Amino acid sequence: MARKRRKNSLQAGELNLTAMIDVAFQLLSFFVMTMKPTDVLAMIDVSRPAPDKRVSQSKPLNIIWITVLGDGRFILNDRPISKENLDTTLCQLGVLDTTQTVIIACTPNSTHGKLIDVLDLCQKAKLSSLSVVSVD
């Protein structure tokens, strides 16, 4: 009886890539699924007054004074102002003088997000001299 010779699936010089591709795809899908997109961080520089210096009641005329209230409203030099109008005003100021001092006064109940909103508008207007004070 003639002996039947088993035929090999692999020929000499051929490479079985199936396992490699399997592992590569598994690793790839694992890392793609577990990857968390990173947030782009930024910084806003501000100055603080010395703790012993009290906020004076009389505000100098050449300083822009923005108050952030607890209910989210803004006051620009004693006059209530909307965020849109504040944006426009600050942009106009920035065109005139980018070194204009802007003091942002925060009331105790105001949220940090509102302060950042104002600081962002100042950054947009290229105003660089920003101070944050706390008022009652």
Partner 1 sequence: MRPPKEEELQSGNLTAMIDVVFQLIIFFVCTTNMQNTIDDRINLAIAPHGVPVTKKDPREIKIDVDKKGNISIQRTYISADLLRSIVKKSIAEYGADVPIVVRGDIDTRHTAIQNAMNACTDAGIYKIKFSVLKEKGK
CB 79 within 8 A of CB 109: no
The pair of three-digit structure tokens given for residue 11, joined into one six-digit string? 């020929």
**Cβ at position 95, least distance to partner 1 in Å:** 15
Least Cα distance to 65 among 118, 116, 110 occurs for: 118
CB-wise, 21 or 85, nearer to partner 1? 21
Instruction: Give Cβ neighbours of residue 130 (< 8 Å, ≥ 6 apart).
Output: 44, 45, 46, 47, 102, 104, 119, 122
CB 131 within 8 A of CB 46: yes
Cα–Cα distance, 64 to 12 (Å, whole number) = 82
**Cβ at position 20, least distance to partner 1 in Å:** 4
CB-wise, 5 or 61, nearer to partner 1? 5
Cα–Cα distance, 109 to 72 (Å, whole number) = 9
Interface positions with partner 1 (CB under 8 A): 8, 10, 12, 15-17, 19-20, 23-24, 27-28, 31, 36-51, 68, 106-113, 115-117, 119-121, 123-124, 132, 134
CB-wise, 101 or 107, nearer to partner 1? 107
**Cβ at position 114, least distance to partner 1 in Å:** 9
**Cβ at position 11, least distance to partner 1 in Å:** 8
CB-wise, 60 or 113, nearer to partner 1? 113
